[in-house]
């Protein structure tokens, strides 16, 4: 329904602004632009954003009055912002004779349009209550200085490339690897992440030589996991043999209706190197089970894993060495798929890009947001200090990592900490999983809103979390954007249409393919490149599921406070 309404609204607006003479004269740039700009745009993004707002608000799960209020709210913020851009352009031209480039203004309008969508969704949607947040300035100056240097270098490199008349640049644009928005604009984020990735990798190499094997407890929340728990415990037993110190394992049997407890008991009997026990958790809820596990933990360090996670023999050893640094509070790794499933090859590239590349880059400035609960190691006191795992929302793993990081501890993502995590085998399971994952961005942001709009600055709170909200909105709008590009192709002139399709393909296919390929090679997994076609299709599916996910956010009262 959203896609249908969006198609109707955007087609109507594009037709009117291109074909009605009075509107064509009023808006010569063929978009709702209220001042003259130099150059051309790849696609009229202001019409796109307004069309999406209209379609989304028309379908979202709430009353007609609240739909209208939500739509007016989004449009008002967006129109005011666009008018401010255009007014500033007029003032700069009158005073200094300077005029913005139109494609830069369109890109900025799109980015702020994405942010407005996410922020207003946080305000109107059913979200967890905002709660007081822990905060410390420890490591914050270090993070700000490093990201400032990286941003400066990325801007300089992008500007230099933009001014170079290179055959390779033109060739890449022709095959939709740089799009029609200008290589300087398009290269900024990839260049920024590359600089941060190099920085993070160098830091990791310098710190990787330490050996540290303190006693550790592994907690496993388990609900109807009889079919996998034996393999999970056996893998932990093998890792404990390599680790060389006490490894306690607690299976938290959370309302299982199968033989989870009995199977786990047999697996413990067969194990030689772990001290295992089973704790019955009669109240349903993964976070409830995890908090019970934290209560039962007697060691200074605790690792939570999912019941379908299989560690490798060196996983514990590679994890715990990071805790030789007193400031480290959370450590995560790279969840490789087992292989053989319909989504596994695409998932491998997704993991290599997210955990083997982006997370290393974020780690360079101590601003990693989420350490996945599939496998995460903590200082036990850090988990207790931030209130444990929150119940009643998606993203309890991200929430606890954010709060530990902001309370003055480092969060580490190490691609050498490898473990195997199950990948959904059916579309139904994938859809259910991804809708939970994508909603978690909004739930975590709403609960920890003080990091976004409070007066205390941190790179994580003021840069990375807003970027994640922008990225979530962008991903939700990707399928509509592809539809929109073909609508515009049919209405615009031949030259404009070619640039539009080129830009859309670059965003959807070109740049993601380049980044995924680089991440695979950087992590010494060239065979993963065979999955690039599947990964590109998977990104389209993921975008569609993101749209479904944000539509699943009801517009009711806020979620009741956690107990």
Asked if 393 contacts 230 with a C-beta cutoff of 8 angstroms, the reply is: no
Which pLDDT value is given to residue 495?
Answer: 46
pLDDT band at 453 (very low <50, low <70, confident <90, very high): very high
Residue 69 CB contacts under 8 Å (≥ 6 apart), including other chains: 124
251: tokens are 């299976």
Higher pLDDT, 268 or 165: 268
Mean pLDDT score, 198-224: 90
pLDDT for 356-392, tens place per residue? 999 999 999 999 998 999 999 999 999 999 999 999 8
**Tokens 């798929």 -> residue:** 337
Is 494 exposed, middle or buried, given 0-12, 13-18 or 19+ CB atoms closer than 10 A? exposed
Chain center to CA of 32: 31
pLDDT band at 183 (very low <50, low <70, confident <90, very high): very low
In this structure, what DSSP letter does residue 506 have? I
- In 3D space, the residue among 182, 458, 437, 452 whose CA is nearest the CA of residue 335 turns out to be 437
Half-sphere exposure of 343 (CA within 13 A, CB side): 21
Task: Report the distance separating Cα 159 and Cα 32, nearest Å.
Answer: 28
| Residue 500 pLDDT exceeds 90 | no
| Residue 41 pLDDT exceeds 80 | no
pLDDT for 228-254, tens place per residue? 999 999 999 999 999 989 999 999 999
Task: Report the distance separating Cα 218 and Cα 276, nearest Å.
Answer: 9
Mean pLDDT score, 434-447: 94
pLDDT for 62-81, tens place per residue? 889 999 999 999 999 999 99
| Residue 173 pLDDT exceeds 80 | no
Delimit the domains of the chain by residue range.
Answer: 1-126+478-489, 213-310
Which pLDDT value is given to residue 507?
Answer: 61
Which range is least confidently modeled, 239-253, 399-413, 482-496? 482-496
Which pLDDT value is given to residue 186?
Answer: 57
Mean pLDDT score, 200-220: 89
pLDDT for 6-18, tens place per residue? 999 999 999 999 8
pLDDT band at 167 (very low <50, low <70, confident <90, very high): low
Rg (the chain; Cα; Å): 25
Task: Report the distance separating Cα 358 and Cα 369, nearest Å.
Answer: 11
**Tokens 């970027």 -> residue:** 467
The CATH-assigned architecture of domain 213-310 is Alpha-Beta Complex (3.90)
Instruction: For the chain, give the percent of residues with pLDDT over 90.
Output: 70
Is 164 exposed, middle or buried, given 0-12, 13-18 or 19+ CB atoms closer than 10 A? exposed
| Residue 175 pLDDT exceeds 50 | no
pLDDT band at 93 (very low <50, low <70, confident <90, very high): confident
pLDDT for 534-556, tens place per residue? 998 899 899 999 999 999 998 86
pLDDT for 257-303, tens place per residue? 999 999 999 999 999 999 999 999 999 999 999 999 999 999 999 99
- What's the distance, Cα to Cα, between the start and end of the chain in Å? 37
Task: Report the distance separating Cα 544 and Cα 419, nearest Å.
Answer: 28
Q: What value does the mean pLDDT of the chain take?
A: 89
Instruction: For the chain, give the percent of residues with pLDDT over 70.
Output: 90
In this structure, what DSSP letter does residue 490 have? H
496: tokens are 């404009």
Asked if 310 contacts 231 with a C-beta cutoff of 8 angstroms, the reply is: yes
In the chain, DSSP finds a helix count (H) and a strand count (E) of: 24, 8
Mean pLDDT score, 89-115: 84
| Residue 176 pLDDT exceeds 60 | no
pLDDT band at 165 (very low <50, low <70, confident <90, very high): low
| Residue 162 pLDDT exceeds 80 | no
Which pLDDT value is given to residue 216?
Answer: 97
pLDDT band at 336 (very low <50, low <70, confident <90, very high): very high
């Amino acid at each position: 329904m959203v896609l249908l309404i969006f198609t109707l609204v955007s087609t109507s607006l594009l037709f009117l602004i291109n074909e009605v003479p009075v509107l064509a004269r009023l808006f010569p740039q063929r978009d709702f632009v209220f001042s003259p700009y130099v150059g051309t745009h790849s696609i009229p993004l202001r019409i796109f954003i307004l069309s999406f707002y209209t379609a989304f608000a028309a379908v979202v799960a709430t009353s007609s009055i609240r739909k209208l209020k939500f739509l007016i709210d989004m449009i008002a913020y967006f129109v005011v912002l666009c008018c401010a851009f255009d007014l500033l352009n007029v003032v700069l031209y009158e005073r200094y004779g300077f005029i913005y480039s139109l494609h830069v203004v369109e890109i900025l309008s799109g980015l702020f349009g994405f942010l407005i969508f996410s922020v207003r969704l946080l305000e109107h949607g059913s979200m967890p209550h905002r709660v007081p947040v822990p905060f410390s300035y420890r490591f914050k100056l270090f993070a700000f200085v490093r990201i400032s240097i990286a941003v400066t270098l990325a801007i300089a490199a992008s500007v230099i490339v933009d001014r170079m008349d290179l055959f390779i640049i033109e060739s890449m644009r022709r095959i939709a690897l740089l799009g029609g928005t200008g290589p300087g604009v398009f290269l900024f984020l990839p260049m920024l992440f590359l600089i941060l990735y190099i920085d993070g990798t160098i830091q990791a190499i310098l710190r990787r030589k330490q050996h540290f094997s303190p006693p550790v407890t592994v907690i496993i929340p388990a609900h109807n996991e009889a079919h996998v728990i034996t393999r999970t415990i056996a893998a932990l037993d093998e890792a404990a043999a390599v680790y060389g110190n006490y490894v306690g394992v607690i299976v938290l049997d959370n309302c299982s209706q199968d033989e989870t407890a009995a199977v786990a008991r047999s697996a413990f009997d067969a194990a030689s190197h772990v001290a295992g026990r089973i704790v019955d958790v009669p109240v349903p809820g993964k976070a409830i089970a995890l908090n019970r596990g934290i209560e039962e933990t007697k060691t200074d360090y605790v690792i939570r894993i999912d019941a379908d996670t299989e560690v490798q023999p060196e996983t514990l050893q590679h994890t715990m060495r990071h805790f030789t640094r007193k400031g480290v509070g959370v450590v995560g790794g790279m969840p490789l798929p087992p292989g053989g499933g319909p989504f596994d090859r695409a998932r491998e590239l997704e993991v290599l890009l997210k955990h083997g590349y982006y997370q290393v880059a974020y780690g360079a400035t101590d601003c990693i947001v989420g350490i996945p609960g599939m496998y995460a190691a903590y200082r036990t006191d850090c988990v207790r200090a931030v209130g444990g795992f929150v119940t009643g929302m998606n993203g309890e793993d991200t929430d606890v990592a954010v709060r530990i990081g902001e309370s003055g501890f480092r969060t580490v993502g190490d691609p050498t900490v490898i473990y195997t995590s199950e990948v959904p085998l059916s579309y139904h399971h994938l859809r259910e999983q991804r809708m939970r994952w994508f909603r978690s961005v909004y739930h975590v942001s709403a609960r920890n809103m003080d990091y976004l709009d409070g007066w205390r600055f941190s790179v994580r709170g003021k840069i990375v979390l807003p970027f994640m909200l922008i990225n979530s909105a962008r991903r939700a709008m990707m399928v509509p954007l592809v539809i929109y590009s073909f609508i515009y192709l049919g209405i615009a002139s031949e030259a404009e249409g070619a640039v539009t399709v080129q830009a859309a393909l670059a965003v959807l296919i070109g740049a993601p393919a380049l980044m995924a390929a680089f991440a695979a090679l950087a992590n010494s997994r060239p065979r993963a490149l065979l999955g690039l076609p599947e990964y590109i299709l998977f990104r389209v599916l993921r975008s569609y599921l993101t749209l479904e996910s944000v539509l699943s956010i009801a517009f009711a009262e806020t979620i009741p406070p956690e107990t």
